[in-house]
Amino acid sequence: MIPPDDFDQLLPAFLDLPVYPPTVDLDERGRLRVRAEFGDFKGHVPYTPGEDLRFLDWSVLARTGHKMCRRFELVRHRRLSILADLSPSMRSREEGLRDLLRLFGFLGLHRLDSVELVTGDKGGTESRLFIGATDYERYRETVLGLTLDGGPPEIAPEEDRSLGRMLISDFQPEEEWRARLAQLRQQGHAVLSLFPRLPVEAGDDSTLWEGPSMLRDLQSGENLSVAMTPALYSNFLEEQEDWEMRMGALSKDLKHGFMAVDLPKAEHRADYEAWLPFLARRAETRRFTTTNPFAAS
């Protein structure tokens, strides 16, 4: 068992906030959740202690003074499907990826009914299902045991359940991902693409350095030797912003969602506010965002 770290201790604090893992269409289905997930009204049964208070009929209690619980014939299941890109190229943001997976899994298991973790491993796409808040520890062990030497995950056909898909990747190479997103749309899937930005990609001045640099792409094995200068860095930030704009426009056209959010720096990992940009409020409709606050400055 991997001992809990600061981030694990931070996670319960998110339960006090009205925040959810962001998805493209889970919110819309959530509005129908009472009828869709709990089925048609079947009748009342007396309340027994320990029963889920969500089924307590408050109007009967107010009218008669008796605690009665409602019963439904059909319950619709709410599942968060997290598709994680485990390509070697994701190693540069490995730490943030594991935190994000834990955060989304934790909230998904506590706010929803189940979490499906879909990863592209060496042998192909692997899907792991976690149900209920009590399954979080297993989920955590799984996330922390992932190795980034696989590839992008393949999406299985949609099942009959309320499903929100979230795809976490670096979306590189760009052309391949554009084709993959288009194919998903043709298959009728809608996903929320989430790009976790590193500080160096967000234009954080504290990450700027000057001098000889060796840029390594672990996936392709290519290296690029450059003399890092403010001019080159500024050009890169512009390219990064253009890329995010292109991805956002593409996702909009394909009716996908796209989010590019800054990963907190190491010293801010234990601060829950630093993670709020990755989450959605219940009342909000966050389809996608391309906001890059550093580039704007």
| Site for other proteins, rule CB under 8 A | 87, 89-92, 170, 172-174, 200-201, 209-220, 222, 224-229, 231-233, 235-236, 238-240, 243
Q: What is the 3-state secondary structure (H, E, C) of 183-230?
A: HHHHCCCCCEEEEEECHHHCCCHHHCCCEEEEEECCCCCCEEEEEECH
Residue 251's CB: how many other CB atoms inside 10 A?
23
Q: Please, which residue, 10 or 97, has the CB nearer to other proteins?
A: 97
Instruction: Compare residues 56 and 295 and give the one whose CB is closer to other proteins.
Output: 295
Pick between residue 91 and residue 178 the one whose CB is nearest to other proteins. Answer: 91
Q: How far is the CB of 286 from other proteins (least distance, A)?
A: 25
Q: List CB contacts of 207: < 8 A, sequence separation 6 or more.
A: 199, 200
CB of 230 to other proteins, least distance (A): 11
CB distance 256 to 24 below 8 Å: yes
Smallest distance from the beta carbon of 157 to other proteins, in angstroms? 29
For residue 234, the minimal CB distance to other proteins (Å) is 8
**In this complex, which beta carbon is closest to other proteins, that of residue 20 or of residue 177?**
177
* 213 exposure class (CB count in 10 Å sphere: 0-12, 13-18, 19+): middle
Q: In angstroms, rounded to a whole number, what is the distance separating the alpha carbons of residues 205 and 237?
A: 12
Kindly state the smallest distance separating residue 217's Cβ from other proteins, in Å: 4
Considering the complex, state which of residue 93 and residue 165 has its C-beta at the smaller distance from other proteins.
93
Identity of the residue, 50 or 211, whose beta carbon is nearer to other proteins in the bound complex: 211
Closest separation in Å from C-beta 293 to other proteins: 19
81: left (phi over 0), alpha (psi -120 to 50) or beta: beta
Structure-token match 């709020």, residue found: 276
Nearest CA to 168 out of 238, 93, 229, 233 is that of 93
